[in-house]
Structure 1
């Protein structure tokens, strides 16, 4: 396996982690449950689903299941992995309700929930479930209004969350707005794009951290694993990426082969200290 160059990024001083996104499409629930068990046994750090109402690829009206009821089941099924959505759509639930849902799953899991959240983008979800799609700018603005409400509701709930629930914000297309929200609110930023794109957006995020008075080292950098660790691992590591997530769905039978390759990469780079 290729070496991993050292990096002086302030956000790189943390262990490398591996997630799997079990996309809840084109499968029966028994297959999803078995995939969750297999992922935890394989040694992943986080098991994610996603927050949509219809498949994003493959047959458009194929089998599909809802996000948050599933996370409640995963909280009871698992014992070690963190769980969450990659990501929850802010538009689909009142922010105070979402805060209470997250607090409840946090307790069900014994403090293993990550609140992954984003502004939303899949128009069919909005149209068929009666939400206003609006514009990207309005959806990002709504996310900016929701995040303080979520944290304020957590402070008022009885019982309180078991921990400061980590907040993962996904996105960065509207980087001047989204990445400012990351700097203000997130513990993890999940970005999309090529290594070159991620490097640029990391720099923009660092600038926003300086603007709002946040230590950039407090924000974990995350992305999807769209390739093998032999090909991508060293470059992503050098960029300061410290979490990658492999996405799989029912059409593959929830094949964990690529996940295991990234787990081996994780264990090697973390063993180097």
Structure 2
């Protein structure tokens, strides 16, 4: 079981859910850099990329960069912000190699990497790229075994392991800049994800309807109790989908335009929008801050990760978000 580092890992994070900024290929990574740097200036403590090969919102052939290559690039143009994925698909990489990858990112960034990890879910990517998808149970068994290997390697051990899915023999992980590189799990599964978080993680990012949070946090406390862990040693953040603008009408239009553009079929827009309603926070900076305070932080979540897919790439928006939400999470 992990030991907590004693510091807040994520209080205000910014997630780039995809790379569909309307930029040409030569301008694409500069747009990613601009957002990471804006988030850093605005007081965000972590920037997250998603670990996908296909675009999830909208046509799968939309622009998608490999996460760890991109994070390595961001490490060279930022100074203080943590770098992670929300989250790495465990099934896409051998766990020993993943430990080496995230440790190398930590060395490049001088101690700013965090490993975000999940079981993997996007079947199309697995099929297209030739990765075994397997059953839901298979993927969580793989994640359990992977965490056993990865956490040992991150802490300076040389694990040997002969499991159902993975095998390593005296796996060396050098160089390392530290022995407490944090591990974050992402998800909302009360039985499997929360149980693994209680055993292995320093941080848990929960993505769910805001109304589900009290039940989710109660379940997490039970999973911690089952392994003898103090729930207060496991930081928890909530993933929120945010559209913010000084003009509330513009914020709402940005969300409407995003759904229309990504879904495509007008007959499906309302249905997709309704499926996301419980995770959406829209309006002026004061509006969004109030919504997040009342609907999320009031339940005892320690941090926020915001996804601003509708307009986060637009100049000035991240500065608004950082100013409005930073005060909430640092009280």
TM-score by length of 1: 0.87
Does 2:252 match 1:192? no
Q: Larger relative contact order (C-alpha < 8 A, sep ≥ 6)? A: 1
Which is higher, the Rg of structure 1 or of structure 2?
2
- 2:149 is aligned to 149
| Residue 37 of structure 2 corresponds to residue 22 of structure 1 | no
Q: Distance in 2 between matches of 1:148 and 1:186?
A: 11
- Check the 8 A contact 2:302/2:329 in 1, yes or no: no
Structure 2 residue aligned with 1:237: 297
Q: 1:270 to 1:203 in 2, by over 3 A?
A: closer
Structure 1 unaligned segments of length 5 or more: list them.
1-12
Instruction: Note the 1:1-273 alignment, pairs <5 A.
Output: 17-27=11-21, 28-154=28-154, 155=156, 156=158, 157-173=173-189, 175-226=190-241, 227=281, 228-249=288-309, 252=311, 254-255=313-314, 259-269=318-328, 272=331
1:15, 1:159 → 2: CA distance?
23
CA distance in 2, matches of 1:133, 1:15: 31
Q: Cα RMSD over matched residues?
A: 2.2
| Displacement after TM superposition at 1:225 (Å) | 2.0
Alignment match, 1:5: none
1:266 CA displacement: 4.0
Structure 1 residues 216 and 271: alpha-carbon distance in aligned structure 2, compared to 1, 3 A threshold: closer
| Superimposed CA distance per residue, residues 31-51 of structure 1 (whole angstroms, 9 cap, x where no aligned partner) | 112222222122211111010
Q: Which runs of 5+ in 2 are unaligned?
A: 1-6, 22-27, 159-172, 242-280, 282-287
TM-score normalised by the chain length of structure 2: 0.72
Secondary structure of the equivalent of 1:58?
coil
Instruction: State which drifts further: 206-215 or 159-168.
Output: 159-168
